[in-house]
Amino acid sequence: MKKRKLLAMALSSIMAFSLVACGNSGSTQNTEPAAAEPAAEPEAPAAEAEKPATEEAAAEASAGGSTDITLWTYPIGGWGDSAVVDGLIANFNAAHPEINVTVEYLDYTNGDDQVNTAIEGNQAPDVILEGPERLVANWGARGLMVDLADLWTDDAKAAIYDSVENACQSNDGVFYEYPLCMTAHTMAINRDVFEAADALQYLDEENRTWTTDNFVKAVQAVYDSGQTNVGAVYCSGQGGDQGTRALVNNLYSGTFTNPEHTEYTANSEENIKALELLKSMDGINFDASIAGGDEINLFCNGTLAMAFCWNVSQEKNNAETIGFDVLPMAFPTDSGDPELCGGIWGFGIFNNGDEAKIAAAKTFIDFMANDQTQVVESVKASNYWPVKDLGNIYEEDELMTEYSTFIPYMGDYYQVVGGWAEARTAWWNMLQQIGTDADVATAVEEFVTTANAAAAQ
């Protein structure tokens, strides 16, 4: 049974305020559980008042018959579950029976390879659901995506949070993503283990924050209590690397890129100091045999006392296997102001040269992300939060209310810098080098050289 103290339900309204301040008939393939909750009835989003011109194009295209489009989706909460997606597509087909949607489900182990193979074979999907690091910084930068400017009406720009809008466009202002949902990635601790080790004294449990010094003390206390595997700097691949980046950057207020998102800055004194600290700590192991998903499993089965790869979906997805009280936390920082890596997910369209399919794809996106009666259901299916004010859509959900604490801690969305795919590979290679006792400053400098060379291409 969970025994942590839940935050007041008013946190959701605080979250919304903080975000504004931050400025076919579809045939599907298999997967499993959980149907989406029915949508609440929100106020009509601003985007409803200004419909994109693509609806007329889609109507004209369908006048002579139906249009078939393909949707490929990474496992963004329930968007990776055919039972949920079938329901969403049924809603769409009730409004647009002239558009048939076929779905393929991707994972983060093989999904990128599947997409790249499809691109090479001129068989890319029409619509894909993922984030700016792929839609904007990768496929968009390679000239493979459709400009979605007509979806980004003035009303849409006014409704969607500024930080999200900025992440969905290239440096030259081309929109390759239309966003649906967002979250803040956190870390988590086994509260039972920390309590037994008398380590809870080092946490601000109400605000879910802790200082770097207290993080070190807490890890040492847990280690001394007999839990020798406290945390793992996982580095067998790129999976979950947002956790290791946030850990390193927060410890001494380092940065991963410059504010303009034109170069990598991980070779700062702050980041080097953070990596040297982690390497020196009892209970923190650099583990080249596991990636983020493996770390989650080890945390959930009690092998590790903390996880750096965590968010609300991980707790929901593993609820049946977790036998202890999970306490989600922001990453420790010397400044007292954590900056969490955010996730922003939305839709992009591959330019397959078929204007009818492109128009139909835009109609699908507009329905899922803007339709007054659909958008809440679309967001809830993700298990995350909306990218615009839809009211308190999780008012009756205690877990979502608890995790809403972290949304105001979201930092810069830097994952749109050039050379992102190469930088991610170079990052885990660097962590492996440090784990085998390479000089930290040398390894970090090699990472930055490799990443910036990729960004310059």
Whether 377 maps to a domain, the answer reads: yes
Instruction: State whether 213 and 179 are in the same domain.
Output: no
Closest CA to 264 of 457, 452, 137, 427: 452
For residue 176, what are the CA distances in angstroms to 11, 54, 82, 312?
Answer: 32, 16, 25, 27
Instruction: State whether 168 and 194 are in the same domain.
Output: no
Tell me, what's the pLDDT at 64? 57
Instruction: State whether 433 and 357 are in the same domain.
Output: no
Tell me, what's the pLDDT at 108? 87
pLDDT string in tens for the chain (457-residue length):
344 433 333 344 444 434 433 333 333 333 333 333 333 333 333 333 344 555 555 555 445 589 999 999 999 999 999 999 999 999 999 999 999 999 999 998 899 999 999 999 999 999 999 999 999 999 999 999 999 999 999 999 999 999 899 999 998 899 999 999 999 999 999 999 999 999 999 999 999 999 999 999 999 999 999 999 999 999 999 999 999 999 999 999 999 999 999 999 999 999 999 999 999 999 999 999 999 999 999 999 999 999 999 999 899 989 999 999 999 999 999 998 999 999 999 999 999 999 999 999 999 999 999 999 999 999 999 999 999 999 889 988 999 999 999 999 999 999 999 899 899 999 999 999 999 999 999 999 999 999 999 999 8
Total count of domains within the chain: 2
Whole-model pTM? 0.77
Tell me, what's the pLDDT at 59? 52
d(CA 69, CA 153): 24
Instruction: State whether 384 and 443 are in the same domain.
Output: no
Closest CA to 285 of 68, 448, 436, 453: 436
Instruction: State whether 279 and 423 are in the same domain.
Output: yes
Q: Which helix (H) or strand (E) holds 445?
A: helix 440-455
Whether 119 maps to a domain, the answer reads: yes
Instruction: State whether 234 and 304 are in the same domain.
Output: yes
For residue 395, what are the CA distances in angstroms to 4, 237, 391?
Answer: 19, 37, 9
Whether 291 maps to a domain, the answer reads: yes
Whether 5 maps to a domain, the answer reads: no
d(CA 122, CA 134): 18
Question: Could you tell me the maximum CA-CA distance found in the chain, to the nearest angstrom?
Answer: 73
d(CA 208, CA 214): 13
Instruction: State whether 215 and 350 are in the same domain.
Output: no
Instruction: State whether 37 and 158 are in the same domain.
Output: yes
Tell me, what's the pLDDT at 48? 39
Query: Which are the contacts of 160, defined by CB distance < 8 A and separation ≥ 6?
Result: 179, 387, 388
Residue 27 DSSP one-character state: -
Tell me, what's the pLDDT at 65? 82
Instruction: State whether 380 and 259 are in the same domain.
Output: no
CATH of the domain at 359: 3.40.190.10
Whether 18 maps to a domain, the answer reads: yes
What is the amino acid identity at position 282? D
Instruction: State whether 245 and 276 are in the same domain.
Output: yes
Whether 414 maps to a domain, the answer reads: no
Whether 302 maps to a domain, the answer reads: yes
Query: Parallel, antiparallel, or unpaired for β 127-130 and 326-329?
Result: unpaired
Tell me, what's the pLDDT at 396? 87
d(CA 138, CA 105): 20
Instruction: State whether 308 and 260 are in the same domain.
Output: yes
Domain that includes residue 232, residue range? 186-339+419-455
Whether 6 maps to a domain, the answer reads: no
Closest CA to 220 of 276, 146, 284: 284
Tell me, what's the pLDDT at 18? 43
Instruction: State whether 156 and 203 are in the same domain.
Output: no
